[in-house]
Amino acid sequence: DAGVTQSPTHLIKTRGQHVTLRCSPISGHKSVSWYQQVLGQGPQFIFQYYEKEERGRGNFPDRFSARQFPNYSSELNVNALLLGDSALYLCASSRRSTGLADTIYFGEGSWLTVV
């Protein structure tokens, strides 16, 4: 089975623009989470979606939004990009929302550079 897949792998945007990042979870996984990893830091939680509903949100501005589709894939949208949004955006999937024994699987990330 394919792992968590993310697209695009790399992209460059200009300040003020909008970006959409995409994620396909592992088959059978219904929970998708997004993390932002700034260079030299550990990942920070942005959103979690389960069964197409937002189940958690980290400390990020309203410029960040996400959604989950009926096939459990997900999009992360960022509006009005700032230089500080340059980061690796990681998508993670697991079978359930509250299954703490579930292993969380990560994709290889989308590297966003804002110039």
Partner 1 sequence: AQTVTQSQPEMSVQEAETVTLSCTYDTSESDYYLFWYKQPPSRQMILVIRQEAYKQQNATENRFSVNFQKAAKSFSLKISDSQLGDAAMYFCAYRSLISGNTPLVFGKGTRLSVIA
Instruction: Write out the residues near partner 1 by the rule CB under 8 A.
Output: 3, 33, 35, 40-45, 48, 55-56, 58, 88, 90, 92, 97-98, 100, 103-109, 111
What number of helices (H) and strands (E) belong to the chain?
A: 0, 11
Minimum distance, C-beta of residue 16 to partner 1, in the bound complex (Å): 27
Minimum distance, C-beta of residue 23 to partner 1, in the bound complex (Å): 13
Residue-wise burial string across 46-63, b where 16 or more C-beta atoms lie within 10 A, e elsewhere: bbbbbeeeeeeeeebeee
- Phi, psi for 83 (deg, rounded to 5): -55, -35
Instruction: Please answer whether residues 101 and 59 qualify as being in contact, where contact means their C-beta atoms are separated by less than 8 angstroms.
Output: no
Q: Which is nearer to partner 1, 17 or 39 (CB)?
A: 39
Q: Which is nearer to partner 1, 16 or 26 (CB)?
A: 26
Minimum distance, C-beta of residue 41 to partner 1, in the bound complex (Å): 6
